[in-house]
Amino acid sequence: MRTPDQIALPLDWPQGSDESRFIVSTANEAAFEHFRRWSSWPVKATVLIGPRRSGRSLLARNFVARVNGRLFDSAETHDEEALFHAWNQAQETGRPMVMVADSPPTKWRTALPDLRTRLAVTPVIRIEQPDDALFASLIRRLFADRGLHLPDEALRYVVSRVTRDYWTAERVVDAIDRFAIASQARLTLPTVRRALIAGGLIDGGSEE
């Protein structure tokens, strides 16, 4: 094997291995706190936007499971009549509806006037690209998923040099792991540096 919220959710938050995979930082704290305070929403619906691979669907899925709500992933592509009726039902039942999307409703091509009216009064919450702390935590967790530990020195090197977004975090871990296996090398700083250069994730010319 490789080496105090006034309006809380019905159960403690987070809880369980799946939920614990959502790492809270300044990049997503506003979204996290919004779902904690769902009882005070002006309407029982929310649009959650943000970069793909940011944990937006994980956050939404865990939330609706707790409150018996409804989730529409890639909401901008869903049938408009279905969204319209689900929005109305959420208000009638008090069971929240969450729409996950790449962009806010103002950029959707919504043809149904009644749905446009309802989306216009629905809060839009955004997850941002990761800050340094979240980016480092994501990389560390992705390595842990593979049964690997990246030394702190190597982790700091990665965070300071690669593009900081969610897709890159996954590419970094895959590139380093593949390179280390092919080279039969340990995860040292020199190995990590060579792996990032080989994977096209950094330019090695300035460091030679």
The two tokens of residue 142 are 């992705």
Supply the pTM of this predicted model: 0.84
Residue 28 confidence class, pLDDT cut points 50, 70, 90: very high
* Digit-coded pLDDT (tens) for 97-150: 999 999 999 999 999 999 999 999 999 999 999 999 999 999 999 999 999 999
166 within 8 A of 51, measured Cβ to Cβ: yes
Distance in angstroms (rounded) separating the CA atoms of residues 108 and 106: 6
Domain boundaries of the chain, sorted by first residue: 19-126, 132-207
The Cα 132–Cα 160 span in angstroms is 8
Out of 1-5, 38-42, 200-204, give the one with best mean pLDDT. 38-42
Three-state secondary structure along 121-175?
CCCEEECCCCCHHHHHHHHHHHHHHCCCCCCHHHHHHHHHHCCCCHHHHHHHHHH
Q: Which CATH number fits domain 132-207: 3.30.70.100, 3.30.43.10, 1.10.8.60, 1.10.3720.10?
A: 1.10.8.60
In our burial notation (b when 16+ CB lie closer than 10 A, e otherwise), range 26-63 reads: ebbeebbebbbebeebeebbbbbbbbeebbbbebbbbb
Q: Taking the CA of residue 63 as centre, how many other CA atoms within 13 Å lie in the half-sphere pointing to its CB?
A: 30
H helix intervals, 76-131: 80-93, 113-120
110 in Cβ contact with 116 (< 8 Å)? yes
CATH architecture classification, 19-126: 3-Layer(aba) Sandwich (3.40)
Whether the Cβ atoms of residue 122 and residue 75 lie closer than 8 Å to each other: no
pLDDT reported for residue 194: 96
pLDDT digits (tens, 9 = 90+) for 68-93: 999 999 999 999 999 999 999 999 99
The answer to whether residues 47 and 101 touch, using CB atoms and an 8 Å cutoff, is yes
